[in-house]
Amino acid sequence: MIGIIDYNAGNLTSVARALSALGYSWIISSDVSELKKAERIIFPGVGAAGSAMESLKSLKLDEFLKEAFEKGVPIMGICLGTQIIFEESEEDGGTKTLGLLKGKVKRFPEPLVYEGERLKVPHMGWNKVFWKMEHPVFKGLDPEYEYYFVHSYYVEPEDSSIIAGTTFYGIEFCSAIAYKNIVAVQFHPEKSGKPGLKILDNFCKWKP
């Protein structure tokens, strides 16, 4: 069973529908005792880092995630879930986040200009990922595939060796990471069609 963490940050049913389409059983829950029964964890989310951290702490899901990481439970972060895995976000003037991995979350520069054209922030729509490492969760993906993004912030890991993929939008930024039992993506695999389903399927079969 796959545990989908509910911390009032939305975007849960689309993840659940994708898992159902792949034939996996899942539970959406904010109950730590229920989530501890799951074989692996998906940590999705959209919205603001500050309010998300408040919800995680009030539900004791911050402690649960740290414990799951230390125990080697496979964890996938998606969008805001990816950002919260790191230590600190520039959002809301500076927000301390989970700190499972070293690094920070930065906002796209304003203005964001490329070749004389001002780009819109948030970065919204389809874009490529340039894969930087061989990893079971990102196996079997055509380099021409595109993935669906909606975000104004991106992660900057302290250790560049955990960067699994990058994307270009005015600047090159980290769009996928992999370290021990954690994988995380800035895009939305559950909204990215065939390649997104492939990533989710790979994750559900992955044994770190």
- Per-position DSSP letters for 147-161, written without gaps between them: EEEEESEEEEESSGG
Please write the tens of the pLDDT for every residue from 168-193.
999 999 999 999 999 999 999 999 99
Per-residue pLDDT for 31 more than 80? Answer: yes
Active site residue 188: yes
Query: pTM to 2 decimals?
Result: 0.96
- The active-site residue, picked from 91, 123, 174, 190, is 190
- The active-site residue, picked from 151, 174, 188, 204, is 188
Active site residue 123: no
Q: Residue 150 half-sphere exposure, CB side, CA atoms within 13 Å?
A: 11
Active site residue 79: yes
Which among 96, 41, 102 has a CA at the least distance from the CA of 67?
A: 41
- Percentage of the chain exceeding pLDDT 90: 94
Residue 92 pLDDT: 80
Range of the structural domain that residue 13 is part of: 2-205
Please write the tens of the pLDDT for every residue from 113-162.
999 999 999 999 999 999 999 999 999 999 999 999 999 999 999 999 99
With a CB cutoff of 8 Å and minimum separation 6, the contacts of 8 are 30, 51, 52, 55
Residue 197 pLDDT: 98
Q: What is the CATH number of the domain that holds 78?
A: 3.40.50.880
The number of folded domains in the chain is 1
- The active-site residue, picked from 54, 79, 123, 151, is 79
